[in-house]
Amino acid sequence: LGSGLGGLVDQVKDARRISYAELPGFPRSGVSGHAGEVVAGHFAGTPVLMLSGRAHYYEHGNAAAMRPALEV
């Protein structure tokens, strides 16, 4: 979720949060408004795993840096 939808993570019930910094090899986002964490829980009664923020090509200059988030 990016800046526009980032508030949805606040609606996740029983949320468990893991910072990207705790995940080996996971790229960190430097964009303002991107929390840089994985949020797991329930949204509208459905189990979800949300990525709050992501790495962008212009931050790293390497498309491969974005792969770990897509492979989760």
Q: How many CB atoms lie within 10 A of CB 34?
A: 20
The amino acid that residue 5 corresponds to is L
Which range marks the domain in which residue 42 is found? 6-55
pLDDT digits (tens, 9 = 90+) for 44-64: 999 998 888 766 666 666 667
Assigned domain for 42 exists = yes
pLDDT digits (tens, 9 = 90+) for 3-21: 566 678 888 999 999 988 8
Query: Helix (H, G, I), strand (E, B), or coil: what is residue 14?
Result: strand
pLDDT score, position 55: 66
Assigned domain for 33 exists = yes
Name the pTM for this structure. 0.68
CA distance 55 to 43: 24
Assigned domain for 1 exists = no
CB 1 within 8 A of CB 38: no
Structural domains of the chain, count = 1
Assigned domain for 64 exists = no
- Tell me the two tokens of residue 1: 């979720």
Q: Is the pLDDT of residue 22 over 60?
A: yes
Reported as half-sphere exposure (CB side, CA atoms, 13 A), residue 39 has a value of: 21
Assigned domain for 15 exists = yes
